[in-house]
Amino acid sequence: MTNAGTGPSQLPLLQLTNGFMSFKTFAAAVELDVFTRLAGGRAVTAGEFAELIGIEPRPADILLTALTSIELLEKDGETYRNAPVAEEYLVEGRPYFFGGYLQFYNHAMYPGWQHVVQSLRTNRPMFVDSDKQKSVFGSAEDRFLMDFFWNAMHALAGYTARALGEVYDFSQHRRLLDVGGGSGGFPIELCRRIPGLEASVYELPHVCDIVTEKVEAGGMEHAVTAVPGDFTTDTELPGGHDVILLSQVLHCGDEASNRELLAKCWKALEPGGAVLICELLINAERSGPSTAALMGMNMLLSHPGGQNYSETEYASWLTDAGFAEPYVVRFEAAGANGAVVAHKPTA
């Protein structure tokens, strides 16, 4: 973008600077239940909106204009309604409700980003004392994490699983091991879509209770089970699986710990089986995409040693671990933009 005869425009810089305004406007609307209250095609005037949300006419008018400008609402004459993306993903109770994930970032991650310069200067995370704790996930006493984070990630995992399932054929497998699978959103979605597929969610003991709750709520007790363990300290992973999934796991660790985990995957996986590293992948040139690169900044703030890696780095680690012919399947989802796939040789 340029100004005629004067060189580059400042507008891209303004858009970067004002990015937080879009985010905080979006978060405020979710917290006020705007999209849930407008569910089902409900259209309201500015006056009706103010009464519906419980705010005065001036802020109601300002909020409606802002939400329309960022394409979360649509205006038809004098009335406003949810845009399709808001109706699909921002109405509470919908299968892939995105609002919980947004609010986790708003209340937990956003304040921590105030200290990003400190993380850059010290090479230390801001959300955990790395001298005392290896991971933000290790404690069952953190009620915010237990009550908010896992629920926030659940819908994101389900949607990402659906996208991955459209480009990778899981029907060729019998038993899936989801290593560090959080609340079980990935295997619940995959096993629901693929008859006969069974899955184990290998997670910390205090997270397994959440897995069991989500599995029961989804009516998938016949296919998905929780297996307690800690992949960072256990010498072996559970065996008897012909496909292993690592979804948004390796970006939490450094190269050495990730190589160690891939070696455990190779040992546990049945011959001929596949391993999938599902992540926001940085390209081979390490120039983007921005979703992956900026998530790497988030990992700097969140985890000792964590960052987002390139598809070529993952492929190299897989080959070194003994896996054969790694390749990338690409898709678009909030949780990942692709998966690096490799197989364990049969002999």
Mean pLDDT of the chain: 93
191 near 198, Cβ under 8 Å?
A: yes
Nearest to residue 347, comparing CAs of 330, 326, 322, 319? 322
Could you list the beta-strand ranges (E) of 191-240.
198-203, 224-228
Q: pLDDT for 108-128, tens place per residue?
A: 889 989 999 999 999 999 876
343 a catalytic residue: no
Tell me which residue of 254, 91, 134, 324 sits closest to 341, measured CA to CA. Answer: 324
The pLDDT score that the predictor gives to residue 141 is: 59
166 pLDDT band, cuts 50/70/90, is: very high
Active-site residue, from 154, 173, 241, 251: 251
Q: What is the mean pLDDT of residues 174-189?
A: 96
* Predicted confidence (pLDDT) per residue in 254-273, tens digit: 999 999 999 999 999 999 99
The pLDDT value recorded for residue 127 is 76
* pLDDT value, residue 150: 76
User: Which tens digits make up the pLDDT trace of 41-64?
Assistant: 999 999 999 999 999 999 999 999
Residue 142: per-residue pLDDT? 60
Say if residue 78's pLDDT is above 60.
Answer: yes
Quick one: what percent of the chain has pLDDT higher than 70?
93
For residue 132, pLDDT beyond 60: no
pLDDT in tens, 323-332: 999 999 999 9
Q: Which of 303, 102, 278 is nearest to 186 (CA)?
A: 278
Token code pair at residue 203: 């997670």
Please choose, from the candidates 310, 184, 326, the residue with its C-alpha nearest in 3D space to the C-alpha of residue 266. 326
pLDDT in tens, 142-159: 656 666 777 778 888 999
Q: Is the pLDDT of residue 5 over 80?
A: no
Q: For residue 202, what are the β-bridge partners?
A: 179, 227
Q: How far apart are CA 61 and CA 53, in angstroms?
A: 12
User: What pLDDT, on a 0 to 100 scale, did the predictor assign at position 17?
Assistant: 95
| Number of other CB atoms surrounding residue 45 within 10 Å | 14
| Residue 1, pLDDT score | 63
pLDDT of residue 153: 85
Query: How far apart are alpha carbons 33 and 55 in whole angstroms?
Result: 12
Q: What is the pLDDT of residue 145?
A: 60
pLDDT reported for residue 126: 87
pLDDT at 15 over 90: yes
Nearest-angstrom CA–CA distance, 249 and 296: 13
Residue 7 pLDDT level (bands cut at 50, 70, 90):
confident
CB distance 25 to 67 below 8 Å: yes
Among 4-13, 159-168, 234-243, the least confident range: 4-13
- Tokens 């004002």 locate to 18
Is the confidence at residue 317, as pLDDT, over 60?
A: yes
What average pLDDT does this structure show over 211-225? 96
User: pTM of the prediction?
Assistant: 0.91
Greater model confidence, 214 or 2: 214
Using pLDDT thresholds of 50, 70 and 90, give the confidence band for residue 320.
Answer: very high
> Does position 133 have pLDDT exceeding 70, yes or no?
no
Residue type, 163: A
